[in-house]
Every structure is written in C-alpha cells, then in structure tokens.
Structure 1
Amino acid sequence: MFKPKEIKSRATKDRKVGIVETHNGLKYPFRLNFYDRPPTDDITIEEFETFALDRLRVLAEIESSYARNRTFEELLSVIQAICLKYLPLNANSAKEKPRDEERRKDHIGHFVLRLAFCRSEELRRRFVKAETTLFKIRFEKDDHAEKEQFLGSRDFDWVLATSEEVQGFDAPGKYYKVKWTRVPDLVEKRRVVLKGGMAYVPATEQSSIVVQEFQTHLEKDLEMTAKALPRLDEDTRLVPILDNLSKGFLAGVSSEWSNASAGAGDGLTADMVDEMAFKHFPACMRNLHMCLRRDKHLKHFGRLQYGLFLKILGLSIEEALVFWRKSFSKIQDDKFNKEYRYNIRHSYGLEGKRANYAAKSCQQILMSDQPGPGDSHGCPYRHFSADNLQSALLTMYGEQGLTSADMPEIMQTVKAGHFHVACTRVFEITHARQGVKKGDGVGEGESVTHPNQYAARSRELDKKAEGKDEDGDVVMA
C-alpha cells in the first residue's frame, strides 16, 4: 500500500478553470451544483478514493431503486437516508455544520466518478441517469430561498411568457417559454402548451427544465472527458482505483461494505456454523456450506470465499482449523496439515506476508474468479441456470417463508442483471417474520452489497426478536 500523497485533480484540461467565488463566506455557495468547474485544490489519494466510493453507494442504490420499481416518493425516502449517511449536504442556515467540507466532498466525488464512468457508452448512460436522479431529489428537497438564489445564479435561457401569450390557456398562472426540444419529458406527458415551436411550461413544472438542463450539460461534459482521457497524464496510482469504481458500477453495487474487516462479527465456534448457515447466510455462502457438507471438500476459490466470510463473521483461527478439519473428514491428518492448514492460517494473516485479508464483497464475487466445472464459489443469482437457481432458492429458504409465488419477481430481476436486488428481495421475504417489509432491504432501504452485511443484519434482527441487544444480552422490559 502507498501512503497518501497530495495530487491535483485533472478531470479536464481543455476548459478554462476559474476560482469559485465565495458567497457569505462559503466557497460553495449552494448545495445544488451543475459541476461546471473541476476541483482545483489539492486532493489526497485517500480522498480521491473514499469520496468516490461514498458517492457510488448513493448512485448504486438509485439504480437498485429503479430495478425494484420504487415510486419516486419511495426512492426519495431511501436516497435521502443514504445521503445523510454517506453524502450529507446541509443548508446554508446550518452554520454549525461543515458545509464547505460536505460540498467539497460532493464536488470531488462527482468528478472522480466522471473519470471512471466516461469510458463506455453504457457507463455514461447509467451514470447520467443516476446523477440526474440525485440532482432531481436534491432540487425537490432544497430550501426554497436557496433554490431561488441558485436559479438566479445561472442563465437557463427561459423567458417569462406575457399575459397575452398565455391568454386562453386552460390553467391560468405563470408560464416559462422555452424551445420544445428542451422539455421532451413534459411534451410526452402533455404537461405543456405547444405554440409556434415553443413550449409554454407552467411554473409548477419549472423543475423539469432545470433537471433536463442538468442532464444535457452532464452528457456533453462526459463526452468531452472521454475524448480527453487518453491525453491525460494520469498518476498510475489512480488507474486501479478508477477501474475498481467502474467495475463496481457495472456490477450494480458499491465496492465494499464499510464493516467488512476482521473482528466485525461476534464470537463463532465451529459447532455453531451449521445452525448459522441455515438461519442467516446469503445464497452464495449457503450454497458453499451445503456443497461442503455434501462433498466433504471445496476447491480453492470456494475455500477462499467461504473461509474469509466465516473469518469476518467471527470464527477465530483456532475454531477455523477445527471447522475445516471436521468438514474435510475424508482426508487424512497428514494431508490436511500439509495441504490445507497453511492456507487457512495464511487467510488469517498468520503466514506468508501476514496480510489481514478482508472477505469478498458482492462486486468481487460477481466480477472476478468466475466458477468453472466442479466449482462451488461465485454468486448463484448470476452463475446458476434459471431452473437450478429457482430450485436452489426454494430448497435453501423454503422453511423461512420463500415460496414459488415469489419466484417470478426474483427471476425477473435476475434476468435484468440486478443480482444483488434479487438477493435483497430474498432477504426481505425470509425476514418478514422479524418485521422486514418489501423495500426495507437490509436496513434503511439499502440493498445487499456484501455477504457479511447480509449475515450481520440477519443476526441482528434475530437478536431483536429474542429481546436481546447487539451483544447478545437479554434486554429487560
């Protein structure tokens, strides 16, 4: 690993960059931003990555919301909660909050993701859709006075229609006159009056003009960035970060679960794994457990995926050695000690370079080390055939409430490539008895992005149902 060093963002060199004017002592005067100017201040490698990852979590959840057919009101509620967690933006009136720091993070994160997602037409399309939705949510919820100040700071090239021009319109009131090509969504929904090649937009639909302008502006900027990217003198340390971000977006999930580090789980013994597997494991890990019990063996990538998952779940190295030795019951002690003991200790950082390996995230499981014949690792939602997946899910989760009536919805999301959304829906169905409703996800509407996140939330719900706190102690009423 490298130590973070100061670097300068180079999103676009062709555009003339000016210093952002201050307003009421703020470098970023508004929460709303069209991202006209790339950031010009020094950015550490750590900021470059973490700011982008936090923004990616928000954009990935926006995509998930579309895949789950959430209404705009539902999407609004979910994304506001996630933004509060990963990408907060406080109003100018919140003077005790670090407003400029929040807006700087928002600004930098946007431009880093531009660099990552300008590389293909599909990435650009998905990025524009998610970013436009995020802007629309912020515009809808912004403080009225600040919104008006923001609108007054830009030239949207609209003209306030005269009373003579709107005479005879069905709905009286204020109208803005723009070219009809700037509001195709309103034309399609027949929410404007067309006359002489112009669209007369009611003031109540003003947001559509602004959002459409944001989208058009971003599409053009992404194309410019894509053309400039090969000429940019990129720091070689940035390329792996950008590649990882784009892979995460293609997989539909953010890169990491924030708690996926050693020791994140409670103490777990080898004897507890069977019960845990059938109560709390996602399909990828439950499949590995079932294959291990059936075959008394797992191939290398299966052992790696499952072993690191159990490690983060709370299985100590001592218990891990007991678990794997019992599981490989067909193998003699001498062979186990020679061929497997070292690798188990290595995954716990006790051999080799002694690295503290993290468990594999959904992105890594989906995008790397694709399973071949005889392999058990990977993601069942992606790597199983449709018939095998349905059969496996009903076998795994039938006793937890999953039925054949749930399959069409789940298989539809799988067919569309939203594998983590299908996994999230299975979580909701199988935890309905603990009060989880459709749309709740694994908490605050979030989708599954890591197997350990799934298991940790399942255990937490189980403890709450039993009247225990997070440490497992009984809570007295």
Structure 2
Amino acid sequence: MQFSGRRKLLRLAGDRRGEVYPHSLQFYLQPPTENISLAEFENFAVDRLKLLKVVENLGVSYVKNSPNYVQKLEAELRKLKFPYRALIEDDYDARRKDHISHFILRLAYCQSEDLRRWFIQQEMDLFRYRFHQLNDQLVGKFLEYVNLAYDAIDATEKTSITDKLVNSTPGFIDKKVGEMVFYKVPFCDAVDLVRVRRVYFHGGYAYVPHQDIISIVLNNYRTQLSKALALTARSLPIVQADERLQPLLSHLSHAYVGPDYNVQKNTGKISLEQIDALSVKSFPLCMRQLHKSLRDNHHLRHGGRMQYGLFLKGIGLTLEQALQFWKSEFIKGKIDADKFDKGYAYSIRHNYGKEGKRTDYTPFSCMKIILSNPPGQGDYHGCPFRHSDPELLKQKLQAYKIPSAGISQILDLVKGVHYQLACQKYFELTHNVDDIGWSLNHPNQYFIESQQLLSGIKEIKKEQRQPENSQPKQSSQKSINTAATATTTTTTTTCSSLNTMEEMELEGLDDCFTED
C-alpha cells in the first residue's frame, strides 16, 4: 500500500473491480496494493475502529446473532458504509473500504498481545455475523474461495446414515436432517466439534451440518489472522519509519473518536459548592475516586491532577474556580499558600491555556485513561475497572451500595476486559435504568448524560435486551430529585477523527506537572 499527501485518490488502472474485491466476506489474505491518500487512510481507520467498538459493545449487551444484535449491527455497517450482507450486494467502494481498513488496523493493533487479542475477537465476531447472512449456495462459494471446499454429502449417503446423524447432532430429527446440507470434513479440521460430540465421526471424517461449519471456518480464520498479526508486528519498524504514518499508528490503538468536551460551552455551569454532591450523583467511578482521595488526603500526585483537573475543566469549572478549588484543598494538607502559588498554580493556568504554548487542553477520554500512564503506589488516577484489584473493586462498589447482582455483572465485564462496558453498567445501576442506549467513551460524556437524565432533559429509551450473562434487572426507574444545577448544553458532535493533536498537546501538558 502506498500513500500520497494529496487529497485526490489515485485509482487502480482499468476496470478491475470484480477481480480486486470479488467477495464481501474474506480472510484478508492479500494486502492492498493501490495508492491511497493519507486523509483516506485516516478516515478508513477511524470508521473501522468505530465499527469494531460497536461489535464489542453489542457482543456483550445482546446474544450474538439474535434479532436485536443483527438489526443494530447492520444499521451500523450501513451508516459507516461497510458491506452489510456478504456476497450479496455489488458494492465495490464498501468492499474496498472494508479490505483496506482491516489492514490499517492490523498495523495499529499488532503492537502488543492485549491489542492483538482484542482485534482478533472483534474481527471474528464481525466475520461470524457476515457468515450467518449466507445461504447454503453462498457458503459453498465462499468455502471454495478461501480454499476450504469441503464436499457436501449426496442424498444417497445422507439417507444411509440418517440415524447416525440424528443421534450425533443435538436437536435433530429425521426430517430436519433430510433438508440440511452436511459437509464431509477431515478429522483434523473438526477436532473441536468432535471433542464436544456434536458431529458424526467415521473413517477419519466428521459429518458437519451447515449450521456448525462456521466453527471450523472461524478456527481457520483465527489461526490465519493470528499468524498475520505476528508477521505484521515483525515488519512494523519499517512502516513506523515513515514519519507520515508513525503518529497515526501510535495513537490509533487508543484513539478517541468522539467530542472533545471543550470547556468553552460549559464555563461557569457549576459552582464549587456543587462538586461534592455531583461527585456522588454524576461522576464516573474514576473521577469519584479521585475526588474522594483529594478530599481525604488533601493532595493528588501529578497523574491524578491531570486526569481530574481536565475533567473538572470539561464540566465547566473556570480557571479562577480551579485555582481556588485546588488551593483550598492543598493548604489543608502539607502545602502552604506560597508553595502552592509557586509550584502548582502555573500548571493549572497551563492546563487552561494561559501559560506555555497557550493550548486549550481537552479532558482525557476513556481509552487515554485505560491505556496510558498506569497508576503506581500512592496514585489514584487511572480506570478503577482496569487498574484496581477485583476484590478491592468489589469492596468499593459495595461501599457505594451497588446491589450484589450488579457487582457480579460488573466483575464479569471486567474479567472479560470490557472496562468501558463495566462503567456503563455502573451508570445503569447508579441511575436505576435498564439500558442507557449509548456507548460510553469519555468521563465527561458520563457526566453530561447523567445530568441530563437526572434533570429530566433526556429520557433513556427502555427496550428489551438479551444479555449473554443474564442477571435480574433493577426495578423501574425511580423519580430522582437533583439538587445540582443541570448541564443543559448539548454536546457538539464535531470531532477530530483521531484527536492526534490532543495526544501531542498532552505530552507537553505532562511536562508541566513535575511536582508530587
């Protein structure tokens, strides 16, 4: 793949669309070879990242391939202009975008074991959805396309072993067996199905029904994708040597693609007297933890000051309020007023763009908090769902009166490395709602949604959900009387696709917080 700084994309010579992207469903075995602009490179990467995050969210919130799951995922695929029905529609641009964007994210997500594991899981779930859209004829064409052309047994052979197929395949009856396609698969390709006794095995072959062939295809896809990511990781230094791509790839794996929650629209919306009440009602757990630690210890180390200070700025704290807030708290501890003015006031003014480069810094996103600057001993920043010991997290949730069933759900999500979804569940439990109806990506988003809900500005739409790990639901939403002033400003949806500038700015901001 080659890149051009020009806006105009250099297309492939000639009309080779059918040859280059003949299928919407694929194993991504051949990398793209055409020229592509850097702008398109970035846009493709961001759109696929949005898609995979939706796949992750839906996979936890709904039974995979249930009607609600399929409906919501198809809507997202349509919205982002990716192929939504494999091998059916003739959409060259969507297929091209799907192919190129997959390889771009390979470059970003091959850099660590955790990133590779996440990428493989979401790509497999996306593949599974697309595969289930195929009919028997299209399945056969796809298997041939990826060199997995297993032979379907003929009617004569099927009739002769019908009783064995019925007995070996749970839930089957003679009539259903007669209508279903069975593939004759070598034993080594069907070990998982043989192990759980889901197929008839004879003469070194497993007789796999159409509905279970996906298991074999997915295993093959996982193996090939895992090997491809390992090879990509070995070649990454060569790609990163390109100064145009290195910044994009460095930040893409933890990129935030939502609003930046700039303070300008919220300035003066809250008072210092409201912060304690707001921290209980509307702060996400990470900020609630920082606020409590600040009140208890009258000090936060620089990682905590950065994370919490920018959050407060984003919810509407002015520079004057911020200086008063931090100073009044620090002088209750071991920091006198003079030391605060000399050692800490500059960094707060820098935070608000009044010193140094005079850059208007934006609050940290969830991915920024989760993936960068992990807390050490004596620190309170970071994501509690990511950085806390599960037992300590459980004790904290119990102290905040979260019901035991809800705590179990949260801990299950944490165990599955779904930290943002665990925070969404925390929101639902603390606000007594069944389904928030949006994906959480930013602490300030949490605050704004909470305030709009508590003030009655926004109502959460209730709908039937089918969680994979079903737990008793909370009672219907109770009426809540909030004492805090609601944040009424609608958040802008205009955002930088990768917020690369935000990351570069924060590097300079980190240098200003040098004192503990």
148, 154, 169: which one pairs with 1:162?
154
Cα deviation, residue 185, structure 1: 4.2
- 2:422 is matched with 422
Amino acid at match of 1:42: N
- 2:17 is matched with 22
% identity of equivalent residues: 39
- 1:461 is matched with 453
317, 340, 343: which one pairs with 1:315?
317
Partner-residue secondary structure (3-state), 1:201: strand
Q: For 2:337 and 2:316, locate their aligned partners in 1 and report how far apart those are by CA, in whole Å.
A: 25
Q: For 2:338 and 2:81, locate their aligned partners in 1 and report how far apart those are by CA, in whole Å.
A: 53
Q: For 2:29 and 2:219, locate their aligned partners in 1 and report how far apart those are by CA, in whole Å.
A: 15
Maintained 8 Å contact 1:179/1:198: yes
Cα deviation, residue 218, structure 1: 2.7
Which moves more between the two structures, 338-347 or 116-125? 116-125
With normalisation by structure 2, the TM-score equals 0.70
Structure 1 position 130 matched with structure 2 position 136: no
Which moves more between the two structures, 138-147 or 362-371? 138-147
23, 36, 46: which one pairs with 2:29?
36
350, 354, 363: which one pairs with 2:354?
350
437, 445, 449: which one pairs with 1:443?
437
Partner-residue secondary structure (3-state), 1:165: helix
Residues 218 and 191 of structure 1: CA distance in aligned 2, closer, same or farther (over 3 Å): same
264, 275, 278: which one pairs with 2:277?
275
145, 154, 178: which one pairs with 1:172?
178
Q: For 2:311 and 2:247, locate their aligned partners in 1 and report how far apart those are by CA, in whole Å.
A: 24
364, 368, 375: which one pairs with 1:364?
368
Amino acid at match of 1:105: K
Amino acid at match of 2:26: N
Amino acid at match of 1:428: E
Residues 467 and 283 of structure 1: CA distance in aligned 2, closer, same or farther (over 3 Å): closer
Q: For 2:122 and 2:390, locate their aligned partners in 1 and report how far apart those are by CA, in whole Å.
A: 29
Please list the CA deviations of residues 296-355 of structure 1 after superposition, one character each: whole Å capped at 9, or x if unmatched. 433322221111112222333344344434444546655444333322221122221122
Aligned length: 438
1:197-212, aligned counterparts within 5 Å? 197-212=204-219
Maintained 8 Å contact 1:265/1:313: no
Maintained 8 Å contact 1:342/1:351: yes
Cα deviation, residue 219, structure 1: 3.7
Amino acid at match of 1:355: T
Amino acid at match of 1:281: F
Amino acid at match of 2:16: E
Q: For 1:426 and 1:28, locate their aligned partners in 2 and report how far apart those are by CA, in whole Å.
A: 43
Which moves more between the two structures, 61-70 or 455-464? 61-70
1:137-286, aligned counterparts within 5 Å? 137-141=129-133, 155-168=147-160, 169-170=162-163, 171-173=177-179, 174-229=181-236, 234-246=241-253, 248=254, 255-263=255-263, 266-267=266-267, 268-271=269-272, 272-286=274-288
1:73-88, aligned counterparts within 5 Å? 73=66, 76=70, 79-80=73-74, 82-83=76-77, 88=82
1:327-406, aligned counterparts within 5 Å? 327-328=329-330, 330=332, 334-395=338-399, 397-398=400-401, 402-406=402-406
Please list the CA deviations of residues 58-102 of structure 1 after superposition, one character each: whole Å capped at 9, or x if unmatched. 43554566677955526546644554555643569989xxx5444
Q: Note the residue ranges of structure 2 that are not aligned, 5 or more in a row.
A: 164-176, 461-485, 491-516
Maintained 8 Å contact 2:28/2:99: yes
Maintained 8 Å contact 2:307/2:363: yes
Maintained 8 Å contact 1:6/1:43: no
Partner-residue secondary structure (3-state), 2:206: strand
Q: For 1:221 and 1:323, locate their aligned partners in 2 and report how far apart those are by CA, in whole Å.
A: 52
Please list the CA deviations of residues 169-218 of structure 1 after superposition, one character each: whole Å capped at 9, or x if unmatched. 24224333332333344434544332322233334445445444433443
After superposition, the CA RMSD in angstroms is 4.1
